[in-house]
């Protein structure tokens, strides 16, 4: 993240917690969804339901991965800020 000047700054801790919670929740829901597929008794309907559930689980997994990438990016930005700030110690 940057402030418009091109300099990255640390992310808000509440934002980081929200992203981490969303990442964990979407990962769990993806896995859990695959365990809750009912047997509907009709083969074409079952295939359609299975396909829909797999797509939904894949979507949740992809969202979890995207959130993880964002968290990693924010962590890298925070590290750059710490190194930049450390280089300024004792300088006007």
Cα distance between residue 33 and residue 53, in whole Å? 7
Contact 57, 30 (CB under 8 A): yes
pLDDT confidence band for 61 (50 / 70 / 90): very high
Each domain of the chain, given as residue ranges in start order, spans: 14-75
* pLDDT tens digits, one per residue of 21-57: 999 999 999 999 999 888 999 999 999 999 999 999 9
How is residue 13 written in tokens?
């801790």
């Amino acid at each position: 993240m940057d402030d418009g000047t091109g300099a990255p700054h640390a992310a808000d801790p509440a934002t980081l917690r929200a992203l981490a919670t969303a990442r964990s929740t979407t990962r769990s829901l993806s896995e859990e969804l695959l365990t809750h597929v009912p047997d509907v008794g009709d083969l074409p309907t079952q295939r359609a339901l299975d396909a829909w559930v797999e797509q939904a689980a894949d979507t949740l997994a992809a969202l979890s991965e995207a959130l993880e990438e964002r968290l990693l990016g924010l962590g890298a930005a925070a590290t750059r800020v710490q190194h930049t700030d450390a280089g300024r110690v004792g300088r006007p």
